[in-house]
Structure 1
Amino acid sequence: MKTDKKPNIYLDKKQALAKAENFCAYQERSQNEVRYKLVEWGMRGDELEEILTELILNNFLNEERFAKAYTSGKLRINHWGRQKIKQGLKLKGVPDRILNKALYSVDEEEYLEILKKLLAKKEKVNTEKNPQKRKYKLVSYLQGRGFERELILECLDEE
């Protein structure tokens, strides 16, 4: 019987630190992601905390930098709204203070531009004839993408 689960790799502290540095250097990571990986590699207790401290001191791990990179990537590439980005950051274990700072670092004009592009794109494929149902479908779609209802309605009223 074959399973897809990989066996846990148990490393000593020095190996785990080197591997964690590579893991963090590849792309920005949250502390929770790194903590999870370290546990997967057999690190526990004080050793785990010492490695996390070392990564923070050597600037491999920075929650604020991670939150800003995550926010800009999800906005520009995935076209997510603030609410969906906020939810994603909470799932990654980012503290509210840092989370809010990252969300408000988003350029408002760029944010509105992305919202308007998504709205125009969705309007082209929306075949609903009833204006109320049409509007409801557009609002539902954009809310699902994480955009704020008030902002969506403002953009719809502009057209």
Structure 2
Amino acid sequence: MKADLLKLRHYCAYQERCHSEVREKCYGLGLRGEDIEEAIAHLVEENFLNEERFARAYAGGKFRMQQWGRKKISMVLKQKQISPYCIKKGLEEIDEEDYRSTLQALAEKKYHQLRGEQLLKRQYKTMQFLLQRGFEQELARETIEQIAKKEE
């Protein structure tokens, strides 16, 4: 158990982790049942494991590096069994102004790539692209309408 705990500390120190990732790692190390819960409790106690910190790092990173929207980020965090409170805190890492300018830049780039398409098809494909990235439908629609107006 001592050696496993050391491995888990290194695992958590390398980058932020959530409980479910650590649980998976425990299974990989051959830990079961009570040992896993004990290990997680130790890591939380020693501040190697903190779900709010993980959510903040994850949300900020996915937005900045991969330009994901809030919906996609929160969906993945839910899949990782992060609490709604921590998801909310994580999404607060995303600056509203940056969010809108990223959405605008992605929409413009995609819209201009589809130059040969008919107007409605262009708007539809751009919308699908933005929704796939996890941006809110209302925001995406407004942004595409603004771009289309500029083009007229």
TM superposition score normalised by structure 2:
0.92
Task: Describe the shift of the 1:129–1:48 C-alpha distance in structure 2 as closer, same or farther (beyond 3 A).
Answer: closer
User: In proportion to residue count, which structure has more helix?
Assistant: 2
Unaligned runs of 5+ in 2: 148-152
Counterpart selection for 2:93 from 105, 115, 123: 105
Cα deviations by residue, 1:13-46 (Å, 9 ceiling, x for unpaired): 1011000000000000010000111111111122
Report the equivalent of 1:124.
Answer: 112
Note the 1:2-151 alignment, pairs <5 A: 13-151=1-139
Cα deviations by residue, 1:120-152 (Å, 9 ceiling, x for unpaired): 211221134311111111101100100011001
Q: Secondary structure of 1:52's match?
A: helix
Amino acid at match of 1:48: I
Q: Secondary structure of 2:2's match?
A: helix
Q: Secondary structure of 1:72's match?
A: helix
Contact conserved, 2:60 with 2:94, CA < 8 A, in 1? yes
* 2: CA distance, partners of 1:59 / 1:29: 11
* 1: CA distance, partners of 2:14 / 2:25: 14
* 2: CA distance, partners of 1:110 / 1:76: 9
Task: Describe the shift of the 1:127–1:158 C-alpha distance in structure 2 as closer, same or farther (beyond 3 A).
Answer: closer
TM superposition score normalised by structure 1:
0.88
Task: Provide the alpha-carbon RMSD of the alignment.
Answer: 1.2
Amino acid at match of 2:78: K
Report the equivalent of 1:5.
Answer: none
Amino acid at match of 1:40: G
Cα deviations by residue, 1:81-126 (Å, 9 ceiling, x for unpaired): 0111111111211111211221233211010011011112112211
Amino acid at match of 2:83: P
Q: Secondary structure of 2:138's match?
A: helix
Unaligned runs of 5+ in 1: 1-12
| Cα displacement (A) at 1:158 | 2.5
